[in-house]
Structure 1
Amino acid sequence: MPIYMDRHDVSKEVTAEIVADLHQKDLKIQHKFNCKGLTYWFDDKRKTAFCLVEAPDQAAIKAMHDQAHGEVPHKIIEVDGAIVESFLGRIEDPKKSQKTTLNIINDPAYRIIMVVGIKHLPLNSLHLKNIKLLIQKQNSSIIKTIDHFKGRLVKQKHDCFLISFDSVTNAVLCALEIHTVINTQDHPYTQLKMGLSGGVPVSEKEGLFEDTIKTAERLCTVVKGGIVLSAEVKDLYESENLNISIDKQYINVLHSNDEKFLNLLMDHTEREWRNTSLSASDYVKILGYSKSQLYRKMVAITGKSPNTFIKDYRLNNALKLLNKRIDNISEIAFETGFNSPAYFSKCFQNTFGILPSNYLKSYQH
């Protein structure tokens, strides 16, 4: 049967004991609806509860909750059990709670999500021949560091890691250690970026931690700085570490107003980047800034002017397509919003240090 996770936003009077009692009421009648409650999470601070349930469909879960206690969930999404475990660390009740009569679980589902991105530049032919060994060495170091700081590796590619942490302190310290380890491996062509955001597994979106992952990815790929934290992560870190401030030499904190700007900017960019007519004027209209205000804001957050930002966004997506080697260079140029293959090749070489044609040849050998 499918597995679902639901979200309950509860009142401030609700305690872990009350949630445990509601869960027991579900278990007593779950067979009537062909459901099986696997476990749950409760966050007393944020007053949220999340149930993990095997069920034939969402309607069965709502009916079970309604008959058991009347607390119908605010949102239900279908999930993969293995993915839930990789983010949250379990898909059954924790051992410490199994010995109690009521089986109280006061375990928040809030997680710090970290995205690590690695670029290897310039992509010249000599560098490409050695890139596999470099990637293996760096990835091994990153994985060891993640394990040391009790992170859970959710997803890994050769140039990207998605990691979940229970502890904000461990997440920030892990990011700093990865930054130190990679930079001491003495490779001047490695560009390391990290973004950290915090959130709960079920929001208004349909994917597990979808909003939090998207924010972490945008902090990693778009905002300037080696390590970028959301304002919420920064506040949580400093609340756990009194009298210890964020190290601004290596860490950039994106304030909440700038985060809203970033999300509006990226929502529009992700919709329109293939459109050859996309320009700074579009951002002016969408974001409600004057040209000069937009320029200052984008340089402050991304380190790039609007037009450079658009060009680099297209080039990074073109690089991904070249790595897949599905289309030819001309097709990729037009698909990624460039007016001509010649101009695309020129921009690609200026940014990555190699012509796209030579890049493809180097990867074929």
Structure 2
Amino acid sequence: MPIYMDRHDVSENVTAETVAKLHQEDLKIQHKYNCRGLTYWFDDVRKTAFCLIEAPDKQSLTTMHKNAHGQVPYQIIEVDADVVESFLGRIEDPENRDKTELNIINEPAFRAIMVTGIKPYSFLNMKKEVLNLSIQKFNLSTLSTIKQFKGRIVNHSNDYFMVSFASVADAMKCALEVQREFDKWKEKHDFINIKLKTGLSAGVPVTNSRTLFDDTVKTAERLYYISMAKILITNEVKELYKNEEITNALLTDRVEPVDPEDEKFLNQVMDRLEESWKNSEFRAIDLSRALSMSKSKLYRRIISLTGKSPNTFIKDYRLKKAIHFFRLKKGNISEIAYETGFGSPSYFSKCFHQKYGIKPTDYLQLQEG
């Protein structure tokens, strides 16, 4: 049976005890609608509650809530239990340690999401095993740091971590410590042209999107994508960090908060790019038209945010997709060149070599070797 998470925006007078009582009312009649309430989260600061419920469909869930207490959800999405646990740490009620008759849960579902990873910018004809072994050593220290700051790993590959934190302060401290460890590691591996990329965002699990933490994850991934030497964070993360950790000032030489208008602009650019990157005819002029912005203004804003011209930003995004396809073995060089929006395999090879310092054919050999 499907599992759903719903969102309730509650009034200022609602307390954790109120929500616990409403949850009990659900449990009393859930069998009538073939539903099973698994658990919930309540945020007294943001006045939101999120219920995790096994149900035949969304309508059954809504009807149960309506007849139990009248508090119908604002939004409902279908979720995977394992994904919920990876972000939020549980899929059932926490232990009632006080042994009270009513198990009152006052635990927000709000999370800080960190995306971080090291990316080689020039392969320098290194064999895959040599590069991977070096990266794996750094990853071991990263895993230890994540554990130290109570992070939960949502997704992880050889050069990429997505981590969920209940505390923004812990997320920030973790990101800073990973950066420090990277600096030490880099001193010993200066033969590798490699950089640490980190993006930090924060938000709730259910918004108007269809997947869990979709908006927060997208923003964190996009900040990670454009970051170079600094930790890019949303303005909300900056303000929350200051509130949680007032004795520790942000290390501005390491951390760069992104202005809310720039964050909005980045999301608009990436939304359009994700829709059109496969189209070989898609250029900066098309992006400026889609955003109702002059070409010169678009150029200035993208240069300011990413350090790249719009056309270079589009080209680099396509090359990133090509690397991904190569790793998945989703075709030969010509097929991937056309699949990623390049007009010809020869132009693709030229761009790939300029970006990574190695030809696609040699890169494939390194992956196999």
TM-score by length of 2: 0.95
Mark the CA change 1:224 to 1:292 in structure 2 (over 3 Å): closer, same or farther.
farther
Selected match of 2:237 from 215, 230, 233: 233
> Are 1:111 and 2:111 an aligned pair?
yes
Partner Cα separation in structure 1 for residue 126 and residue 202 of structure 2: 40
1:70 equivalent to 2:74? Answer no
Alignment of 1:126-275 (within 5 A): 126-185=126-185, 186-188=188-190, 189-242=193-246, 244-275=248-279
Letter in 1 for 2:206: V
What is aligned with 1:302?
306
Q: Partners in 1 of 2:36 and 2:159 — Cα distance? A: 39
Alignment of 1:30-45 (within 5 A): 30-45=30-45
Gaps of 5+ in 1: none
Residues 302-357 of structure 1: CA deviation (Å, up to 9, x unaligned): 11111111111111111111112221111111111111211111111111111000
Structure 1 stretches (4+) deviating beyond 3 angstroms? none
Q: Distance in 2 between matches of 1:269 and 1:121?
A: 22
**2:5–2:53 contact (8 Å) kept in structure 1:** yes
Mapped pair 1:329 → 2:333: yes
Larger displacement relative to structure 2 (224-233 or 257-266): 224-233
Aligned-residue offset at 1:139: 1.5
1:196-236 deviation digits (Å, cap 9, x = unpaired): 11011111111111111011000100245431101100110
Matched-pair identity in %:
54
Q: In the TM superposition, what is the alpha-carbon distance from 1:283 to its structure 2 partner?
A: 2.2
Alpha-carbon displacement from aligned partner over 1:166-209 (angstroms, at most 9, x marks no partner): 01111001001111112211223222101111011111111111
> d(CA) in 1 for partners of 2:18 and 2:269?
43
Q: How does 1:346-365 map to 2 (within 5 A)?
A: 346-365=350-369
Q: Once the 2 structures are TM-superposed, how far is the Cα of residue 75 of structure 1 from its aligned partner?
A: 1.3
Residues 315 and 163 of structure 1: CA distance in aligned 2, closer, same or farther (over 3 Å) = same
Could you tell me how far 1:18 is from its partner in structure 2?
1.2
What SS does the aligned partner of 2:126 have?
A: helix
Q: Distance in 1 between matches of 2:143 and 2:77?
A: 30
Q: Find the counterpart in structure 2 of residue 293 from structure 1.
A: 297
Q: Deviations over 1:148-182 (max 9, x none)?
A: 00000111111211100001111001001111112
SS in structure 1 at match of 2:100: coil
Contact in 1 for aligned 2:330/2:336 (Cα 8 Å):
no
Deviations 1:78-114 (A, max 9, x none): 2121211111111122224662222211110000011
What SS does structure 1 have at the residue aligned with 2:40?
strand
Q: CA, structure 1 residues 37+200, in 2 after alignment: closer, same or farther (shift >3 Å)?
A: same
Paired residue type of 2:344: S
Aligned residues: CA RMSD: 1.5
1:54 paired residue number:
54
- How far apart, in 1, do the equivalents of 2:248 and 2:147 lie? 24
Q: Would you say the 8 A contact 1:153–1:161 is kept in 2?
A: yes
Partner Cα separation in structure 1 for residue 2 and residue 17 of structure 2: 28
The answer to whether the aligner puts 1:339 opposite 2:343 as a matched pair is yes
Letter in 2 for 1:339: G
- SS of aligned partner of 1:184: helix
Q: Distance in 1 between matches of 2:171 and 2:363?
A: 35
Q: 1:60 to 1:97 in 2, by over 3 A?
A: farther
| Worse overlay, 324-333 or 40-49 | 324-333
Distance 1:260 1:99 in 2: 46
Tell me, yes or no, if the aligned pair for 1:97 and 1:105 is still in contact at 8 Å.
no
CA distance in 2 between partners of 1:92 and 1:324 (Å): 36
